[in-house]
Structure 1
Amino acid sequence: MAENLLRGAFPLSTRALAERVGIAPMIAAAVLLLILLAAIFAPLIAPHDPIHQNPVMRLKPPSAEFWLGTDAYGRDLFSRVLYGARVSLIIGIGVTVLAVTLGLAIGLVSGFFRSADAVVMRIMDGLMAMPSVLLAIAIVSLMGASIWTVMAAITIPEIPRVVRLVRSIVLSAREEPYVEAAMSLGTSMPRILWRHLMPNTFAPLTVQATYVCASAILTEAILSFLGAGVSTETPTWGNIMAESRVYFRLMPSLILWPGLALSLCILSINLLGDAARDVLDPRMGKRED
């Protein structure tokens, strides 16, 4: 009986799960875990201060002292790339939490209450009509550059995408018999939203959250590269590439390493999102009996 309960709670065995997701998501998970650990333990791993300038050592090639070389100000590139992962992951995770939380709340209200749907969705359509990068640049320009401002500026364009996803799920689920039965029994609206409708959004939101995180990390790099992100003194992957573009022909590795770290991080998150979709969507494969 216990085995049947476990099988019902976890319909996919470990072997079946591995066969469905494939080797690529597992490698992506390992890479993302490595990046996360490097960001957390950057103060212990980094051999040098990422913001300490030493003009005498500028533009040095990789060596035993400077593993990836130095930039135009004599700062250790390896240390800066490590600390850049911190900013990218903080913004990526922060934007994901804010966008999913706010988008879930707004989407539940918009999908369930028809009177609010028209107003809410027109506002969401207006936000989606504006390019996300331009909207973020405008917000940062008005509020000033900081990690929290950049996080808020990236979150606002992401909310409508989450709202539209949640709204579509709620519009379908609210017509189900169990929801109609709860309404006929006089169940309060907050309880219906919390107990009956919100659980239907968990699987799609899990997949959507991975794409929001990857998009937020990429947008932060774009803003930093354009000079509209966090302070240029803060080591981020976008700032490192922006400062090094003048020296690209002289020393391409200055852009190669932060660009490679950014690409691996975003690719790993997207692969995990695809794997989550394959596992959570029953139409993507047959579950083990």
Structure 2
Amino acid sequence: MAQTPEPRSAMQPVLSVIRLPHFGIGPKIAAVVLLAIVIVTLLANWLAPHDPLTMNPLMRLQGPIEGHPLGTDNYGRDILSRVLIGGRLSLAIGIATAIVAVALGLVIGMVAGFFRTADAIIMRMMDALMAIPSILLAIALVALNGPSVGSVIAAITIPEIPRVVRLVRAVVLAAREEPYVEAAIALGSSMPKILVRHLVPNTLAPLIVQGTYILASAILTEAILSFLGAGVSTETPTWGNIMAEGRQYFRLKPELILWPGLMLSLCILSINLLGDAARDMLDPRLKKRAG
């Protein structure tokens, strides 16, 4: 009797959805803006005209002058240099948060969705975390661990994990009832093989979209924490720290908040626009409605 071939992987229907996108003008502009922000922050050490930490009291609160295109802050530090260098750390915190939250949420969500015995315990823990406002939870975690980059990443990541877990769990609950998963179980495929080969591909599209929203949210949350004095050390330039230091001189020199705030707004808006475009591209139901 011929052996029944193992069912095809779930990767094929997912890849059939992922095509080269035909984005509208908005996402294209957002992609260009975001790429420009990433490039200038990565090259900040070469593009910044001055050391962002060097103080010059004789040059404090100056407007745009030669050598200081955006002027100086209340300590005589170059604003352009601080905005460029600060953006690099803000983006790094956002990217690290998105990667860790998606990775941990994927693992926990798959366990909750596939193993019924663990589902109730895991989801009640996730519900408890989601019941606490994310900003308050982040402030509490940073206060416990002290202001540092690692503490801020952990404080922003933990409130984001339950959202990823719920998303992955919902996808896995639906996918595990599919015929190809039931056939793989009947053929005696190992549990790790079933999870990696048949269930993980189903989560890729929603996780990509969710990852963009987490990235934007993490960058904004880091700025909020720094603005409230609960982020990274105040000596370290980030967009949030720059705005926090400039708020006392807002009436005298609004540029201290304008430039980092503009970069922050453009970055978050671009990421959200690209996330919406990715959602429209990767969700076949939206394609059917558009058709």
Same fold (TM over 0.5): yes
Deviation at 1:242, TM superposition (A): 0.5
Which 4+ runs in 1 deviate beyond 4 A? Answer: 8-14
The residue aligned with 1:67 is 69
- Residue type of the alignment partner of 1:187: S
Gaps of 5+ in 1: 1-7
- Distance (whole Å) between structure 1 residues aligned to residue 129 and residue 16 of structure 2: 39
TM-score (norm 1): 0.93
RMSD across aligned positions (CA): 1.8
- Residue type of the alignment partner of 2:90: S
- Distance (whole Å) between structure 2 residues aligned to residue 217 and residue 56 of structure 1: 33
The residue aligned with 2:33 is 31
TM-score (norm 2): 0.92
- Residue type of the alignment partner of 1:252: P
- Residue type of the alignment partner of 1:78: L
| SS in structure 2 at match of 1:285 | helix
Deviation at 1:187, TM superposition (A): 1.2
CA contact (8 A) 2:18 2:282 kept: no
- Distance (whole Å) between structure 1 residues aligned to residue 194 and residue 163 of structure 2: 23
The residue aligned with 1:86 is 88
Deviation at 1:148, TM superposition (A): 1.0
- Distance (whole Å) between structure 1 residues aligned to residue 49 and residue 184 of structure 2: 61
Deviation sequence 1:75-121 (CA, Å, 0-9, x none): 00000000111111110100011000000000000000000000000
The verdict on how the C-alpha distance between 1:119 and 1:223 changes in structure 2, with shifts beyond 3 A counting, is same
- Distance (whole Å) between structure 2 residues aligned to residue 9 and residue 260 of structure 1: 37
- Residue type of the alignment partner of 1:159: I
| SS in structure 2 at match of 1:215 | helix
- Distance (whole Å) between structure 1 residues aligned to residue 18 and residue 135 of structure 2: 40
- Distance (whole Å) between structure 1 residues aligned to residue 288 and residue 173 of structure 2: 27
- Residue type of the alignment partner of 1:199: P
- Distance (whole Å) between structure 1 residues aligned to residue 213 and residue 221 of structure 2: 12
Deviation sequence 1:252-281 (CA, Å, 0-9, x none): 111110000000000000000001011111
Is 1:146 matched with 2:148?
A: yes
- Distance (whole Å) between structure 1 residues aligned to residue 17 and residue 114 of structure 2: 31
The verdict on how the C-alpha distance between 1:120 and 1:11 changes in structure 2, with shifts beyond 3 A counting, is closer
The residue aligned with 2:196 is 194
Deviation sequence 1:162-209 (CA, Å, 0-9, x none): 000000000000111111111111111111111111100000000000
Deviation sequence 1:8-42 (CA, Å, 0-9, x none): 9677876xx33xx2011111111111111111110
The verdict on how the C-alpha distance between 1:268 and 1:132 changes in structure 2, with shifts beyond 3 A counting, is same
Q: Tell me the percent identity.
A: 68
The residue aligned with 1:136 is 138
The residue aligned with 1:5 is none
The verdict on how the C-alpha distance between 1:9 and 1:160 changes in structure 2, with shifts beyond 3 A counting, is closer
- Distance (whole Å) between structure 1 residues aligned to residue 18 and residue 227 of structure 2: 43
- Residue type of the alignment partner of 1:98: V
Gaps of 5+ in 2: 1-13
Deviation at 1:285, TM superposition (A): 2.4
- Residue type of the alignment partner of 1:107: G
How many positions carry a matched residue from both structures? 278
Deviation at 1:286, TM superposition (A): 5.2
Correspondence for 1:164 among 163, 166, 186: 166
The residue aligned with 1:3 is none
The residue aligned with 1:220 is 222
Correspondence for 2:127 among 111, 125, 128: 125
| SS in structure 2 at match of 1:62 | coil
